[in-house]
A and B are shown apart, each in its own frame.
Chain A
Amino acid sequence: MVPADPEVGGTPPAARLDPESAEWLRVLGEAGPQREAALAQLYELLVRIARGEVARRGPRLRISGPELDDLACQAAADALLAITGKLGQFRAESRFTTWAYKFVIFEVSAKIGRHFWRHPSVPLDAEDWDRLPGHFGFDPAYQAEWGELFAALRRAVDAELTPRQREVFVAIVLNDVPLDTLVLSLASSRNAIYKMLFDARRKLRAALVANGYLHDESSRRS
């Protein structure tokens, strides 16, 4: 991975501040009833976005009804705290509301991750290697064609990965543990877990290419 895109990081703050964003910053930066009214308005906005987001993700979650709505309201409340605590970090690179929505989307993700951490469907460290071919859509009827590939993949997981990379690979790839759940389980960060999985993917692909199971350029063994 590389540190950053060249464009990341450098817009002058006031250069593109739109009037609506400026007004949000003004009232949230004050004290008194105007600020309280703005906080209430922002909270309502965040609740609406959070409800929309949990509804969008809902069909894929094992959460529903009041529990899902409660998650949305908690996400909005925590996002409001994060936003008010970071107002000074808003650099006017987008509209204020877009920046604010980002926090509530992150809070929804974090809370869903926490839910799965509390209610795991499989132990995080279980190792059911038989699930793996199906995970990638291999047809059991053609096991004779891909059996060796997965045996090689398993050998590479054992031989090439560090214990921590192996742990992350097993949890996320074999056990379908959400990455944000693993972040909590390992007291880590999304970036650190992703980097471990990124390095594991790179090593495993290199091993499969070196042993002739995948080609360097084409996407399928011929």
Chain B
Amino acid sequence: MNGWSELDRFLRTDPRDVGCAQAMEMLHVYAELVAADAPAEARYPGIAAHLRACGPCGEDFEGLLAALRDDAH
């Protein structure tokens, strides 16, 4: 990815983005759906949009998902 597209990607905002509060509220539900290969993004498009754009919430999601996957093994 070059600088132009990286800058453009950063500046683009998704109107479906629900923000941190809603994403954090439902993160356990969303992560469990993803861990189960269920269609989490289709069910919660606003949370999916938020997790793509918000570094801290995305990091929390990755951590929770890693914990669930670790539990499953």
Contacts and interface: CB of A to CB of B under 8 A. Distances in A.
Interface string B4-48: 111111111101111111101111110110000000000111110
A67 interface: no
B20 A190 contact: yes
Contacts, number: 146
Contacts of B18: 1-5, 8
Given A4-B46, A53-B66, A220 B22 contact: no
Given A53-B66, A136-B10, A194 B19 contact: yes
Contacts of A97: 71
Given A98-B31, A98-B32, A208 B3 contact: no
Interface stretch (A23-31, A34-42, A117-125, A199-207): A199-207
Nearest to A93: B29
Interface string A186-217: 00011100110010011011001000001000
Contacts of B27: 102
B32 A191 contact: no
A189 B60 CA distance: 16
Given A178-B56, A179-B54, A202-B11, 16 more contacts: A2-B46, A5-B18, A56-B66, A93-B29, A98-B32, A101-B64, A102-B24, A102-B64, A138-B4, A189-B20, A189-B21, A191-B20, A198-B19, A201-B12, A201-B13, A220-B2
Interface of A: 1-5, 7-8, 49, 52-53, 56-57, 93-95, 97-99, 101-102, 105-106, 108-109, 133, 136-139, 146, 149, 153, 173, 178-180, 189-191, 194-195, 198, 201-202, 204-205, 208, 214, 219-221
